[in-house]
Amino acid sequence: MQSKRPGKRPDRPRRKPSNPGSAEKKPANRDGDKDLVRLNKFLAHSGIASRREADDLIKAGLVEVNGKTITEMGYKVKPTDQVKFNGAEIKQEKKVYMVLNKPKGFITTTDDPKARKTVMELLSNAGGERFYPVGRLDRKTTGVLLFTNDGDLAKKLTHPSHGARKIYEVGLDKNLTKADFHKIQDGLELEDGPIKVDDIQYIEGKSRNNIGVILHSGRNRIVRRIFESLGYEVSKLDRVFFAGITKKNLNRGQWRYLSEKEVQFLKMNG
């Protein structure tokens, strides 16, 4: 029995024969490598300049990677690459993360032209890495204050769109009335816009001038201004919680390094 001839298949584009020798080399600077970091970010984290300023330095041809001058924007480097600026080798600083139980009388800044006491003095024995406070607590406010040299995390914790959770214990000059309690609970209009706390409670076992407040806003002096707008004076303001970190086992003025677990929690939930 004669078999049927199969019909003619439509023409298909021919595959080019594989030739490893002629294949184009893939750039070493690939986006898929999780260890790669942008060169401008590397420079910024090394304390050379801000990212924007680092771009200008790269364009000017002042940065070398493994002996080659790099002027390409977006270029990425590996942790093992040798990076030089103006002929001098630079390295990224080791990331550090600390928490301080801030006492009264210290301002939250790295330097003060009026020579007032700063929170940096309380961490003077923290080692050689540079670091800075995450956000601010005013001079009279006490409690949880974080420090790091991880710029990305600091930005995430303080940026309005993320809003790290904060819990404050507030002491007032007089009892908070139920009417004002509900005003705060429902939301207030301040000079810089509306504000609504996540929660407000009278502190159990204490008089009604002791209030617990939970909020995400990082606006300047926001807790004090909430109560001042209703005619109260804040006599005590203590931040007991910030983005999952507390001041447990820390006396006023004491600090400690965060555990690896705490750091990972901040990065995931900050």
- Contact between 39 and 54 under an 8 Å Cβ cutoff? The reply is yes
31 torsion bin: left (phi>0), alpha (psi -120 to 50), beta (else): alpha
Q: What are phi and psi of 246, to 5 degrees?
A: -120, 175
Read off the amino acid at residue 20: P
The residue to which tokens 């032209």 are assigned? 113
Catalytic residue among 112, 138, 198, 199: 138
Catalytic status, residue 192: no
119 vs 123: CA distance, rounded Å: 7
SS3 call for 159: coil
Residue 175: Cβ within 10 Å count:
14
At CA 266, angle to CA 262 and CA 270, rounded to 5? Answer: 155
> Which residue, 180, 171, 104, is CA-closest to 140?
104
Residues labelled catalytic: 138
